[in-house]
Structure 1
Amino acid sequence: MPWQKPIKRTEKGLLLTQSVRLNNNTLNDLAELTSIMTQLLDRPEDIYWIDLSFNDLPTIDPVLITYYNLHSLNLHGNSIHQLAEVDKLAVLPHLRSLTLHGNPIEEEKGYRNYVISTLPNLKSFDFQAPSA
């Protein structure tokens, strides 16, 4: 499509990008994520945005916290059941945008307040300002 900017590559063919879209699959774990990112990306440690929306992830996999520079994480439309899963993300100092709506945890009492209090640096949560 003409509006899409082509992704640049290194001489070795590795992708030069800070975003990864793995949305709309049937992923139920991220066991191979580190290996895949290392094989495809020039600097996986610089990933800024990961879209894992509309998969079947039951938890927030600890591999996600290895991406220290992560600013935006889309996890909406998965199968995350426990609010305590959000606690794992508290170690990401740059995380500013998070989506979790469409997961079973959304039905938990205090869902929004829990996430916002656990991750006070968010500027956007479920596509809204945290104070909304």
Structure 2
Amino acid sequence: MANIRTFHDLDVWRKAHELVLLVYKITKTFPKEELYVLVAQIRRAAISITANIVEGFRRKTLKDSLNFYRMADASLEELKYHIFLSHDLGYISDSEYNVIVSLCEEVGKLLTRWIQSQETYLNA
């Protein structure tokens, strides 16, 4: 992407935001007893991905930015586990699981490429 002025211009942020919206949609159907446990954890992990991308984007040094992008990646892994658990508990259907896992993989690839591109600048 040639002209990146705000985090909205980042493909990785836009795809991660799409993931957050999907997480909210899917977790609306979870049992009430999971609202303050698993639902809260899933939503927090999903939001953490986008929030860390945003915070990293605004950091003054590239090294500092990379720390936040790596935290976003760690939050993505946490989210994947919660999705896996939710599927095993029967809270997410097979079709929902496949869609969200596919989106997680897409976000992961974009995030990895973004981190690698920033590391290249740092090491140049």
TM-score normalised per structure 1: 0.25
Which structure carries more relative contact order (alpha carbon 8 Å, separation 6+)?
2
More strand by share: 1
More helix by share: 2
